[in-house]
Amino acid sequence: MQFELQYVDPKTNARAGQITTDHGVIETPIFMPVGTAGTVKAVHQREVKDDIQAQIILGNTYHLYLRPGLNILEKAGGLHKFNGWDKPILTDSGGFQVFSLSENRKITEEGCTFRSHIDGSKHIFTPENVVDTQRTIGADIIMALDECTPGTADYNYAKQSLERTQRWLDRGLKHFDETEPKYGYSQTFFPIVQGCTYKDLRLKAAEYIANKNREGNAIGGLAVGEPAEVMYEMIELVNTILPKDKPRYLMGVGTPINILEGIERGIDMFDCVMPTRNGRNGLLFTQNGTMNMRNKKWEDDFSPLDPFGTSYVDSFYTKAYVRHLFIADEILGLQIASIHNLAFYLWLVKEARKQIIAGTFSSWKESMVKKLNVRL
């Protein structure tokens, strides 16, 4: 993997760059639709590629490991061939999912022991075997195993957790460097900065990771219960340390406003389930604010879903029709809303890139945040 930093906004730390992988080029800043179990929920791969214009998608190691399982994925030749997606894929390590299974997991020095949410069977993720798992899945970018501490964790626990995560990182890096990809193309390993909301821990983590000199770095453990302003403070802090010539990936964040604030602070890559999850619940993001498609006010509104149109669904379907689909519990409503929201997120980062290159990101971002705060 290669990264070229092309432009930096003159008034902020916002950046525009280009990541080159064996499965294609990614222009940053970029949003990665989440394909948890090998699919972006309710959306065809063709729509993800052509209508939404995603350049990279994310797969989840925990879910893919459990179902369909590594045997099937390896027989298929990796996730790209299994699901028909021919552009880059990033996989997380499964650490966040195991963290969320607080009733069914145990963290030790060896790794994370957990019980499957599907059938209760017992499994273990270690720094080494999650590298092997992601090798088998075949992602272009794979992540280190880490513990994602809650935003409310006390200092002593956060410190112990970070130190264990750093020991896990060393083991994972060693194993990654001693193994080879399975399907004839290169894979890249990203370490993850943890440290909860404690400045000294975040700085320590960022310095530790910067010294590893990998092709890219991630920031995890944010948007897990802490106030948004604290999250922004942690991003700013960490990005004073992380190398400027490497892509920075903010994991699992977030709202359109979170993304713009992250870009302003020097983040290049984002992922979040919000556009599809909120879409399936009838909440649409637009350039003028958010819409709840179940509201009666849309019942006889025959105007386009979004007059600015970031996807074909925006001009093809009306607000009244999409509201009808949600009220009638029609599956098509979930699909239209998911496509719309993903297309909006991809439009947002693409437009941010244009503004960075033009040197107008700061003023554009300020006006967009005001619009995005509106409830239509």
28 touches 22 (CB < 8 A): no
Angle at 81 between CA 75 and CA 85, to 5 degrees: 155
Q: Which listed residue (268, 271, 306, 314) is catalytic? A: 271
Sign of CA dihedral 115, 135, 128, 166: negative
Q: Which listed residue (51, 92, 306, 314) is catalytic? A: 92
Quick one: angle between helices 331-358 and 361-372, nearest 10? 150
Element spanning 61, H or E: helix 61-66
Is residue 306 annotated as part of the catalytic site, yes or no?
A: no
Q: What is the largest CA-CA distance in the chain?
A: 62
Is residue 92 annotated as part of the catalytic site, yes or no?
A: yes
Angle at 238 between CA 235 and CA 244, to 5 degrees: 105
Separation CA 252–CA 238 (nearest Å):
16
* Number of residues written out for the chain: 376
Count of Cβ atoms closer than 10 Å to residue 134 Cβ: 30
> Which residues have a catalytic role annotated?
92, 271
